[in-house]
Amino acid sequence: MSFITDTIAGSRRTRAPRVAVLGATLGTGNMGVDALGAATVQELVALDQGVEILYQSWVNEPIEIGFGGQSHRCEPLVIRRRPNLLRQNSVEQLRRVARLQKRFGPVSSQMAAFLPAWRRLRSCDLVLDISAGDSFADTYGERIFWYQSQIKLMCLDAGVPLVLLPQTIGPFNLESSRRTAADILRRALLVATREAAGVDEILQLCGPHSPPHVVESPDVAFVLEPSATPLPARAEAQVEGKVGPLIAVNVSGLLFAKGDQFDLVTDYPDLMVRLLRWALSQPQSRVLLVPHVVPTGGGAKGSPTQDTTDNSACEALLRRLEPHEVERIDILAGADDPAKAKYAMAESDFFVGARMHAFIGAVSLATPGALLAYSKKAAGTAGMAGFADTVVDLRSLAADGVIAAVDRLYVNRSSLRERLLRDVAGLKRRVRRFFQEELSPLISSTVSENERSPPKKSVL
């Protein structure tokens, strides 16, 4: 019996649970973040508890979350990054109200009417925050850390129990970041890490006053079900005719445009030219470029700039190649959600790339591959899943070393595929066990507690 099950023995609920999912906003073009959100909704629905899901959004419209050829409608929870005279519900405004409530008691209906997101947040039994997988850290800058910490503190000060879903936590390089992160972790109801050393790192950060419950789980995107999508015609013919290997390559627009920010040993664009030529040197091979961060067309907040999308990097890379090389390369088009991109990678014989959720999409369907690491999350997440040997660290290997490491994995792809076929089912069971054994009873517990607690009179 889990810790959480022990705390709720005998509790009963009489209404549907209401849960908010934060940190995986759609519409940013980042299919890795979309995969985290879609997999979370998929598993919440699979719990068969009739959970009402509020999903963080930039627009106040119902949201359809797709997975495995089906979809689930979620209600929007609009929380904006910055205040605006015409648009309310910024995280800063909501945090101020939460702090007022924490100090003086429940806010009045008049004040709540000014911030519709406040009413919706307070109606939730539980908040599930996944922090875009790796954004609860200060490595992406103080602005990102401020936003991630404020949204968590907002929930805690509002009195809504907070769960940190499996994610990379840290690193926190500044002492002020470490203090803030430790405070959040100690106050969270449940903290889950997707990294092999994650539990020890969290306990070390928090010291003697550790979080009440810390667990580990593989990345939730392992369980996302694929949705069928057509491959480019020549790539489809390569697969159907078994002409030769189809090698899927993800080119990171972030590293292509800003690789100098990540202490890479080699020039990333030059490395990717060499990797493509290595892939094309394999007998009768064809290459499928798989963008995983794509243009949104709508300029959504948090979306990548044009020069950091994978599509723009793919196009720039092709311009560096000879025409006869480009003839054997296709770019996956129309895969506008992670379930479709996952299907395309499952059709490939080998994957290589730096976007971690593109790699997870491949290996979770037993496509062997190499994960090009540019931060700690790669080794930690792959290590938790048992695939540490597939990580090729761009921060420690020069170009020749990278090519050699990828080539070794490619040569041994058959044995790696056998290992994936054997082990991935267990990884998926571990993710589902997290939802079923840790999260499900916790959802029931918070609903029961809220039903027993009478509403407090507003004092503001």
Rounded Cα–Cα distance for residues 256 and 445 (Å): 47
Q: Which residue would you say has higher pLDDT here, 271 or 449?
A: 271
- 217 within 8 A of 190, measured Cβ to Cβ: no
Comparing CA positions, the residue from 132, 71, 62 lying closest to residue 337 is 71
pLDDT band at 107 (very low <50, low <70, confident <90, very high): low
Domains of the chain: 3-222+428-452 (3.40.50), 224-421 (3.40.50.2000)
Rounded Cα–Cα distance for residues 92 and 151 (Å): 8
Residue 175 has pLDDT above 80, yes or no: yes
pLDDT band at 99 (very low <50, low <70, confident <90, very high): confident
Tokens of 372: 């090009």
Rounded Cα–Cα distance for residues 123 and 158 (Å): 11
End-to-end CA distance of the chain: 42
Work out the average pLDDT over 380-390.
91
Residue 236 burial by Cβ neighbours in a 10 Å radius (0-12, 13-18, 19+): middle
Mean pLDDT of the chain: 88
> 70 by DSSP, 3-state: which?
strand
pLDDT at 112: 59
Residue 14 has pLDDT above 90, yes or no: no
pLDDT in tens, 154-170: 999 989 999 999 999 99
Q: Which of 98-112, 185-199, 386-400 has the lowest mean pLDDT?
A: 98-112
Tokens of 183: 């405070």
User: What is the number of alpha carbons within 13 Å of residue 71 lying toward its C-beta?
Assistant: 8
Q: Which of 14-23, 229-238, 349-358, 449-458 has the lowest mean pLDDT?
A: 449-458
Count Cβ neighbours within 10 Å for each residue of 82-105 and write b for 16 or more, e otherwise: eeeeeebbbbebbbebbebbeeee
Rounded Cα–Cα distance for residues 210 and 221 (Å): 27
pLDDT at 448: 64
| pTM for this predicted structure | 0.88
Q: Which of 19-23, 289-293, 340-344, 358-362 has the lowest mean pLDDT?
A: 340-344
Per-residue DSSP letters for 283-307? Answer: TT-EEEE--SB---SS--TTPPPGG
Nearest 5°: CA angle at 360, between 359 and 363?
Answer: 85
> 154 by DSSP, 3-state: which?
helix
Query: 426-433: which pairs have CB atoms within 8 A and are 24 or more residues apart?
Result: 427/218, 427/222, 427/364, 427/385, 427/386, 428/222, 428/223, 428/364, 430/217, 430/218, 431/39, 431/43, 431/166, 431/217, 431/218, 431/219, 431/220, 431/222, 431/223, 432/43, 432/46, 432/223, 433/217
- 153 within 8 A of 128, measured Cβ to Cβ: no
pLDDT in tens, 280-289: 999 999 999 9
Amino acid at 1: M
Work out the average pLDDT over 426-444.
96
Count Cβ neighbours within 10 Å for each residue of 40-75 and write b for 16 or more, e otherwise: bbbbbbebebebbbbbbbbeeeebebbbeeeebebb
pLDDT at 111: 61
